[in-house]
Amino acid sequence: MSNIILQPSSNKDAREHYVDTIQNPVKLNSIEQFLDSSEKQILNDIYSNGECLIWGVTPGGSNITKWNRIREGDVTLFSKSGGIYASAVTTFKTHNKELAAHLCNYNNKGQTWEYVYFLDEVRSHAIPYRDFNNAVGYKENYIIQGFGVLDSVKSKLVFDEFGLESSTYIAPIDDKEYDDIAMSIPETEQLFISKRRLEQGFLRKRLFGNKTDSTCSCCNKSYPISMLWCSHIKKRSKCNDDEKRDYNVVLPMCRFGCDELFEKGFIGVDESGVIIEIKKTTNENVKDYTSSIIGNKCTGFNNKNSKYFEWHREFHK
């Protein structure tokens, strides 16, 4: 699960940095000299328009320990007098003193904001401290005074109250966590929803990596990944234990029609990887959409997932 990062930003340095590296995005080609090859590739995947948003903290106090807890998908709350005025989602982090000095110079203690993290999906807010404190369970007069990362319990309270989670940047989980989630039988609806969200997040990470745009497997059109489903080829409810653990059982399909048509069996994929019609419809709009994608090559079709497409064809005949 993602966590909440608290970032007060009312002093002069913070206000200037917010303008310089958040309000005004930083061009990737202006900082590539400070990045290694793998960092360049990751950031180019994330920021396909060539512009990124950057924040950082100094090595003072317990900042390094807190920074080490930051993960992709964590949401930063920027605050100043009165409350929280903006949020942004973490995409990547790196310890890079030269980059920080290039962007922000040094403070009066000779430190720079070298514990860097990159952001996206900035949203403006007007959340009074009172509302934030009520959500988290703090005293009414509490004021965010230092950089920090809330634990998972408090973070969930904030997400539940203000709806800040990203649908693009998902906190990663490892293979063991995924197996536990995929195989668990939750006792309550709330737990079911929570675990399925984690499972979907893991599968989406396997499908999309660091990309923010990808291609629908059926219509072959490119969309932001927030507009693509991580679609099960074989219905999850029909998968055996091994199939639930198999990453090849899912492919990206767009929310604009392909996922729905595939899910309901109007379209399928034949043994050579070509989109075919399975069920017929009398609705002219559905006919038009289906006709526009029949004959397309299904991107992502391979020997490892062909058995799931065969199951899908047989199930919907």
- Residue 222 dihedral angles phi and psi, to the nearest 5°: -90, 135
Indicate whether 180 belongs to any domain.
no
Whether residue 142 sits in one domain with residue 19: yes
CA atoms within 13 A on the CB side of 167: 9
Q: How many domains does the chain have?
A: 2
pTM exceeds cut of 0.75: no
Whether residue 235 sits in one domain with residue 124: no
Are 88 and 121 a contacting pair, CB within 8 Å?
yes
Last residue of a domain, one of 135, 162, 189: 162
Residue 268's DSSP bridge partners are: 276
C-alpha R_g of the chain: 23
Q: Which residues of the chain fall short of a pLDDT of 50?
A: 188-189, 191-193
Whether residue 150 sits in one domain with residue 15: yes
Range of the domain at 63: 4-162
What's the pLDDT at 189?
45
DSSP for 169-184 reads S-----HHHHHHHHH-
Indicate whether 149 belongs to any domain.
yes
Whether residue 231 sits in one domain with residue 132: no
What's the pLDDT at 203?
77
Whether residue 230 sits in one domain with residue 143: no
What's the pLDDT at 236?
85
What's the pLDDT at 177?
65
What's the pLDDT at 234?
93
Q: Which of 218, 235, 199 is nearest to 301 (CA)?
A: 218
Indicate whether 176 belongs to any domain.
no
